[in-house]
């Protein structure tokens, strides 16, 4: 779950059937939720994923939301995605591990690097736990950066 710039809560969840993430939004602090819908961009093998705010337009030049999961029909292809419109679309994606992978957890550190802790392996997704650190320039292949993007955190 992530709190968006306008206070809306965005819930991103796995389903029990199919291979797309489900989303729902709440504009009243979680008391009521929109009807659950499929996110057509977020393919998944029904696995835990992670959602995290990276920047918001109150403190930086724009909203940026991160998402990580094994982006495949099976537990492979650990990928981090970036949204500029609070999870409506995911135009940026970057693979961090092509092989077997499973649960992941994203966080953003005070130096504005993002981190992904995730399960991975060579034969199965559960051989190792790996910590990957990256910045916005790496994720967007140099097309976006935080240089000159508003107030510092």
pLDDT confidence band for 147 (50 / 70 / 90): low
CATH of domain 2-139: 2.120.10.10
Task: Look at residue 111 and tell me whether its pLDDT is greater than 80.
Answer: yes
User: Mean pLDDT for the chain?
Assistant: 94
Q: What pLDDT shows up at residue 59?
A: 86
Per-residue pLDDT tens over the stretch 62-75: 999 999 999 999 99
Domain boundaries, the chain: 2-139
Rounded average pLDDT over 18-37: 97
Q: How far is CA 55 from CA 5, 6, 100, in A?
A: 9, 13, 30
Q: Say if pTM beats, i.e. exceeds, 0.95.
A: no
Task: Look at residue 150 and tell me whether its pLDDT is greater than 50.
Answer: no
Task: Look at residue 7 and tell me whether its pLDDT is greater than 70.
Answer: yes
């Amino acid at each position: 779950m992530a709190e968006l710039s306008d206070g809306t809560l965005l819930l991103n969840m796995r389903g029990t059937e199919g291979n797309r993430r489900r989303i729902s939004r709440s504009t009243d602090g979680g008391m009521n939720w929109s009807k659950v819908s499929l996110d057509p961009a977020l393919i998944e093998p029904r696995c835990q994923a992670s959602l995290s705010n990276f920047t918001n337009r109150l403190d930086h030049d724009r909203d940026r939301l991160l998402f990580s999961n094994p982006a495949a029909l099976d537990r492979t292809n650990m990928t981090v995605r970036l949204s500029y419109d609070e999870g409506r679309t995911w135009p940026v994606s970057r693979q961090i591990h092509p092989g077997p992978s499973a649960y992941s957890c994203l966080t953003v550190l005070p130096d504005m690097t993002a981190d992904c802790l995730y399960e991975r392996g060579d034969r199965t997704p559960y051989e190792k736990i790996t910590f990957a650190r990256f910045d916005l320039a790496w994720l967007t292949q140099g097309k976006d950066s935080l240089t000159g993007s508003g107030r510092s955190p």
